[in-house]
């Protein structure tokens, strides 16, 4: 499947929904700090979310199913990062004006038209990620447009919404969520479905991200920007893929999804060719527990020992199609397993396309096929769990098999870190947006908009140019800085630590931090104030620029530590005066032979030895002067 697709031929259309957390002082609907907490929760409480009827009296089937099964949500909280508002124990406070201002600023930068009166809505979400059972969200502006490499990309909506709680675990019927993230302001930028290739999707996301960062009011770090992708191909379906956290992954996710849809269409055609009809897929479940009584498959044996059952179902003429790879790592069998997990809460499924394996023997497969009267062209799917779960799981498998006859089922999928996706839930119905009656509408005046327009932040391209001129940065560094979310800190640092070269500051904030992150250092733990303090120490000569990576690493690992402590602990205070002099003497003495041979020409070599041994603790300029002096005196002597 590595062949290059012709995306325009298959009619690929992609729309982006870019979500970015804002770095406001407080959350969107209360005065809590927009921060996460680590460690054990101080408060826990248990809730059940009951699917409510839409205005037509309908109840979302997936939601009702979850509820009926008795799914409960255990919420975790502490008193710093959440209050009664996040607990849904107090009505929301008025919309945070600081967040609104950022959203309106972005809207104006994207040439969008702010709405005259903002109405906060409730978008039904009952997976537990919102304590209320809905997400509060509002459209701030409509009909914008940005230019990406010469093409105008329409921006349909710019919205402001509350971030959801984060999932911290699930056990049986109990899901755990932490509500610290709930209520952090998110700006959502939605493009029209006009993007025609994976690479273009990535470039548009980058361009949107740059504009958002230009406000200097965005949070940074893993998870603070998330992309949802709406992807369709001709004859396929509109698939919503949620939660792509890394920009680099976007093109891969789009590519895989296009392939997945193509692969599913091929399977549809193949099934048609084989003459399968929906009525044929009957969903008769057979108890195959007896057959696996003596199996060597550990998963099955364990389940049977726990008194669970093995249920099996025949999928007529599906042989070979469940195991066929439709996109890297994605198979119809796996899609069925995802559905079975969601609807049946089972660990996974077995299917004959992948057997014999996992300790299941050829003999067992044969007997199973005989039990279900399955021929060589048929596939058999089976699952081991309680009777209820197993039946729910197989019902979901059968439903997915029927959908395979129709092509690509509409669904919401979640992105995996490797670019593949998995089934998340059915696509929610259209009528799930209701007014938030607890928050009065907010009117946006012309005067306010004019005032905002008069102080818009500079666009990313302008910033790059200005950085090159003003601070003498090269273009690459300037661009990296503008893309890095650290532009504000850079300008602050350069102003307050004037003896440090801007290039050093810029390289530290981009390349150094990136390298540290790659090495697994949790750079996000280090505050802007701390980074500034590090540069101040360099500025005053108390430590050196070479010591910066070590200090930042130490700070990331010592949450409550100060910069002073880091320098002390790491022994990174600058060596100077007599200590430095004797150090230089020692190195000259140790390398007497070289000095004798090369005389003053040994300077470069000795300098290298010293700096290597005491890197981070020496001011190279001072060392060089001392060394020159010493060599000169020796030579003369």
Partner 1 sequence: MGGNHDLPSLPGYKGEALKILREAEAQAGDLIRIFKDGTSYEGVLMPRSEYGDERHIVIKIRSGYNIGVRVTADTRVEKVGAGAKVTFKPPPPPKQRPNLPRVSILSTGGTIASRVDYRTGAVRPAISAEDLYSIVPELSDIAVIETEVIFSLFSEDLTPKHWTRIAETVAKRIGEGVDGVVITHGTDTMAYTAAALSFALQDLPVPVVLVGAQRSEDRPSSDAALNLIGAVSAAAEAPFAEVVVAMHETVSDNAVAFHRGTKVRKCHTSRRDAFKSVNVNPLARLADGQLTMLTEDYRKRDHDRELTLKPNFDERVALIKFYPGMNPRLIDLYVDLGYRGLILEGTGLGHVGRKCFPSIRKAVERGLIVAMASQCIWGRVNMNVYTNGRDLLALGVIPLGDMLAETALVKLMWALGETDDPEEAKALLRTNMAGEVSARSIYI
- Residues in a beta bridge with 226: 19
**432 is an interface residue for partner 1 by CB under 8 A:** yes
Which positions from 584 to 623 touch partner 1 by CB under 8 A, shown as an x/- string? ----------------------------------------
**306 is an interface residue for partner 1 by CB under 8 A:** no
**Listed residue (42, 25, 37) closest to 97, CA to CA:** 25
Q: Which of 25, 35, 42, 113 binds partner 1 (CB under 8 A)?
A: 113
* Residue 393 CB contacts under 8 Å (≥ 6 apart), including other chains: 311, 340, 341, 343, 344, 345, 346, 349, 383, 385
For partner 1 (CB under 8 A), the number of binding residues is 54
**437 is an interface residue for partner 1 by CB under 8 A:** yes
Which positions from 440 to 459 touch partner 1 by CB under 8 A, shown as an x/- string? xx-x----------------
| Cβ contact 138:186 at 8 Å | no
In whole angstroms, how close is the CB of 99 to partner 1 at the nearest point?
A: 17
**134 is an interface residue for partner 1 by CB under 8 A:** yes
**116 is an interface residue for partner 1 by CB under 8 A:** yes
Distance set, CA 53 to CA 48, 68, 296, 439 (Å): 16, 15, 48, 22
Q: Which long-range contacts (CB under 8 A, 24 or more apart) does 426-431 make?
A: 426/61, 426/62, 427/238, 427/240, 428/60, 428/124, 429/54, 429/58, 429/60, 431/54, 431/55, 431/56, 431/58
Gap between the Cα atoms of 449 and 440, Å rounded: 20
**503 is an interface residue for partner 1 by CB under 8 A:** no
Q: Which of 434, 448, 603, 614 binds partner 1 (CB under 8 A)?
A: 434
Q: Which of 81, 96, 135, 137 binds partner 1 (CB under 8 A)?
A: 137
**84 is an interface residue for partner 1 by CB under 8 A:** yes
In whole angstroms, how close is the CB of 421 to partner 1 at the nearest point?
A: 23
By three-state DSSP, how is residue 306 classified?
A: coil
The interface with partner 1 within residues 49-78 (CB under 8 A) comprises 49-53, 55-57, 59, 63, 72
In whole angstroms, how close is the CB of 87 to partner 1 at the nearest point?
A: 6
Count of other CB atoms within 10 angstroms of residue 305: 8
* Residue 427 CB contacts under 8 Å (≥ 6 apart), including other chains: 238, 240, 410, 411, 412
Gap between the Cα atoms of 205 and 226, Å rounded: 10
Total number of residues shown for the chain: 637
- If phi > 0 it is left, if psi is from -120 to 50 it is alpha, else beta; for residue 385 that is beta
What are the φ and ψ backbone dihedral angles of 272, each rounded to 5 degrees?
Answer: -60, -45
**Listed residue (187, 268, 195) closest to 230, CA to CA:** 195
**168 is an interface residue for partner 1 by CB under 8 A:** no
Q: Tell me the CA end-to-end span of the chain in Å, nearest whole number.
A: 75
**435 is an interface residue for partner 1 by CB under 8 A:** yes
**41 is an interface residue for partner 1 by CB under 8 A:** no
Please give the angle made by the CA atoms of 389, 393 and 397, to the nearest 5 degrees.
170
Q: Which of 24, 81, 124, 191 binds partner 1 (CB under 8 A)?
A: 124
In whole angstroms, how close is the CB of 48 to partner 1 at the nearest point?
A: 5
In the bound state with partner 1, the residue whose beta carbon lies nearer, of 81 and 124, is 124
In whole angstroms, how close is the CB of 163 to partner 1 at the nearest point?
A: 17
In whole angstroms, how close is the CB of 77 to partner 1 at the nearest point?
A: 10
In whole angstroms, how close is the CB of 243 to partner 1 at the nearest point?
A: 20
Choose one: 110-118, 169-177, 288-296, 615-623; the region binding partner 1 (CB under 8 A).
Answer: 110-118
**119 is an interface residue for partner 1 by CB under 8 A:** yes
| Cβ contact 255:201 at 8 Å | no
Footprint on this chain of partner 1 (rule: CB under 8 A): 45-53, 55-57, 59, 63, 72, 84, 87-91, 113, 115-119, 121-124, 126, 131-134, 137-139, 142-143, 156-157, 159, 430-435, 437, 440-441, 443
């Amino acid at each position: 499947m590595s062949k290059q697709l012709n995306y325009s031929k298959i009619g690929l259309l992609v729309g982006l929904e870019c979500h970015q957390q804002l770095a406001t002082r407080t959350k969107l609907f209360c005065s809590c700090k927009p921060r996460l907490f680590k460690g054990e929760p101080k408060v826990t409480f248990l809730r059940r979310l009951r699917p409510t009827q839409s205005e037509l009296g309908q109840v979302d089937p997936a939601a009702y199913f979850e509820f009926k099964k008795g799914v409960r949500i255990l919420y975790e909280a502490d008193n710093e990062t959440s209050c009664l508002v996040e607990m849904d124990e107090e009505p929301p406070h008025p919309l945070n004006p600081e967040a609104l201002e950022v959203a309106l600023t972005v809207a104006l930068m994207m040439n969008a038209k702010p709405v005259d009166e903002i109405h906060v809505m409730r978008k039904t979400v009952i997976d537990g990620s919102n304590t209320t059972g809905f997400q509060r969200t509002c459209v701030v502006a409509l009909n914008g447009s940005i230019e990406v490499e010469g093409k105008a990309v329409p921006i349909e909506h710019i919205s402001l919404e509350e971030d959801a709680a984060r999932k911290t675990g699930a056990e049986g019927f109990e899901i755990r969520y932490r509500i610290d993230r709930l209520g952090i302001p998110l700006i959502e930028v939605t493009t029209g479905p006009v993007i025609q290739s994976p690479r273009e999707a990535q470039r548009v996301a980058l361009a949107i991200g740059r504009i958002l960062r230009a406000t200097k009011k965005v949070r940074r770090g893993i998870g603070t920007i998330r992309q949802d992708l709406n992807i369709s191909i001709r004859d396929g379906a509109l698939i919503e893929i949620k939660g792509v956290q890394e920009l680099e992954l976007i093109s891969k996710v789009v590519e895989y999804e296009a392939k997945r849809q193509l692969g599913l269409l091929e399977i549809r055609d193949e099934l048609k060719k084989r003459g399968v009809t929906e009525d044929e897929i009957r969903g008769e479940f057979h108890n195959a527990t007896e057959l696996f009584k003596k199996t060597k498959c550990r998963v099955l044996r364990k389940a049977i020992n726990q008194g669970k059952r093995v249920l099996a179902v025949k999928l007529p003429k599906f042989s070979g199609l469940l195991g066929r790879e439709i996109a890297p790592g994605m198979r119809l069998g796996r899609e069925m397993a995802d559905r079975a997990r969601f609807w049946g809460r089972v660990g996974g499924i077995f299917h004959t396309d992948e057997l014999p394996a996992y300790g299941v023997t050829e003999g067992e497969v044969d007997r199973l096929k005989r039990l279900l009267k399955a021929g060589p062209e048929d596939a058999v799917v089976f699952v081991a769990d309680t009777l209820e779960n197993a039946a729910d799981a197989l019902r979901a498998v059968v439903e997915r098999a029927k959908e395979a006859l129709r092509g690509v089922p509409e669904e919401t999928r979640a992105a995996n870190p490797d670019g593949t996706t998995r089934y998340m839930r059915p696509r929610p119905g259209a009528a799930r947006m209701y007014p938030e009656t607890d928050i009065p509408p907010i009117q946006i005046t012309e005067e306010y908009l004019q005032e905002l327009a008069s102080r818009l932040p500079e666009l990313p391209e302008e910033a790059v140019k200005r950085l090159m001129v003003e601070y003498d940065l090269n273009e690459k560094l300037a661009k990296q800085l503008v893309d890095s979310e650290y532009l504000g800190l850079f300008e602050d640092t350069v102003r307050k630590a004037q003896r440090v070269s801007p290039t050093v500051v810029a390289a530290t904030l981009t390349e150094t931090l990136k390298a540290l992150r790659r090495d697994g250092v949790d750079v996000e733990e280090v505050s802007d104030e701390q980074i500034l303090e590090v540069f101040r120490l360099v500025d005053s000569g108390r430590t050196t620029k070479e010591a910066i990576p070590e200090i930042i690493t130490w700070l990331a690992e010592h949450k409550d530590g100060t910069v002073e402590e880091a320098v002390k602990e790491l022994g990174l205070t600058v060596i100077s005066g007599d200590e430095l002099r004797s150090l230089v003497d020692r190195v000259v003495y140790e390398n007497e032979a070289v000095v004798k041979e090369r005389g003053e020409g040994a300077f470069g070599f000795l300098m290298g030895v010293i700096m290597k041994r005491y890197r981070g603790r020496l001011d190279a300029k001072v060392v060089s002067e001392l060394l020159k002096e010493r060599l000169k005196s020796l030579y003369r002597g």
